Amino acid sequence: MAAEIKVIVSGALGKMGQQTAQAVHQDEELKLVGLIDVRAREGQTSGTAGHLPLQPENDLEAWLERFPADVMIDFTNPQAVYNNAKIALQHKVNCVIGTTGLNEVELKHLERLALENEVGVAVIPNFAIGAVLMMKLAQEAACYFPDVEIIELHHDQKMDAPSGTAIKTAEMIAERRQARPPRSSLELEKIAGARGGEMKGIRIHSVRLPGFVAHQEIIFGGVGQTLTIRHDSLDRVGFMPGVVMTVKKIIGIKGLIYGLEKFL
């Protein structure tokens, strides 16, 4: 039997962190060896995951100095994820990053650190396998429907907009669709931002409301017809198969992997 993969969860007191800690703890091939969250206080339990055999700590680097790990899973926030990943990679710990908001410069630096330390870093905008299929189907549809807009809807606590999934979707569509002429210069926004943001000529609209988890629809327009591809994440448990799969597959990889589709 192969040795268990030792896993640390960073952002362990958040909703995704708690769900992830449970999934890791329940998998026979993984061993949960650390719960990290800057909000952790001495004697605190890990929220709904309070029956786990660990208490959350608030210092990632200090924990890694004392306890070895194979993989760190990060579900923190855009302000913390880059530094967390640097610390883990410098300790030769593979990283699985579900936090969105990293820019191109940060991604390139993390890739360099991973290669230098001979470990892997997986940056996954969306761990839902259905969401990955949505993006791949949209990429195929873009060959025939080059006119497209993206609407992404998330809970009101999400800090970044647009979502990493929307950005990744726009990138994948742009790889396939034909070049489009500029839109009419006569278009008038009565309220700034009403037409959404624009990336690679694709409009992206972000909705933030209580009641949502993570949702996205891609609307294609053609002559006399439209095509809509939509994915809905109704519960965070739906992300867990993708998280666990990524943790197991990042072992042995060196460098940067971007997107869950690379592992399918």
**Active-site positions?**
154, 158
Neighbouring residues of 66: CB distance < 8 A, sequence distance ≥ 6: none
CB 63 within 8 A of CB 54: no
Q: What are phi and psi of 146, to 5 degrees?
A: -75, -20
Give the ranges where 41-124 is alpha helix by DSSP (H): 60-66, 81-90, 104-116
Q: E-strand spans in 88-174?
A: 94-97, 120-123, 147-154
- ∠181-186-189 over CA atoms, to 5°? 105
Encoded tokens for 58: 């608030």
Report which DSSP code applies to 17: H
